[in-house]
Chain A
Amino acid sequence: MKRISKLLLWSSLAAALGAQPLQINLDQLASKASETVDVSLNGATLQFAAKFLDGKDSEEAKVKKLLAGIEGIYVKSFEFKTEGAWSKADLERLRNQLRPPQWSRIVGVTSTEDGETAEVYVRSENNKMTGLAILAAEPKEFTVVNIVGSLDLNSLADLGGHFGIPKVDVPAAQKK
Chain B
Amino acid sequence: MDWLEQELKRALERKEPAPEFTARVLAAARRRPSLAARRWIAIAASVVVLAGGGVGYRWYAGIQAKNQVMLAVRIAAGKLNQVQTHVLEVTQ
> Which residues of A are interface residues toward B (Cβ below 8 A)?
37, 39, 41, 45-46, 48-53, 60, 63, 66-67, 73-75, 77, 107, 109, 111, 116, 118-120, 132, 134, 136, 143, 145, 147, 153, 156-163, 165-168, 170, 174
Contact = CB atoms under 8 A, between A and B. Distances in A.
A41 B81 contact: no
Interface residues of B, number: 28
Contacts of B68: 39, 41, 45, 49
A170 B73 contact: no
B interface secondary structure, majority: helix
Nearest to B70: A63
Contact of B84 (A63, A77, A157): A157
A67 to B, nearest CB: 7
Interface string B57-92: 000011101101111111111111111111110110
A165 B83 CA distance: 13
A159 B73 contact: yes
B57 to A, nearest CB: 13
B62 A160 contact: no
A160 B91 contact: no
Contacts of A145: 72, 75-76, 79
A45 B71 CA distance: 14
B83 A109 contact: yes
Contacts of A37: 71, 75
5 contacts: A116-B86, A134-B83, A157-B80, A159-B74, A170-B88
Contacts of B82: 118, 136
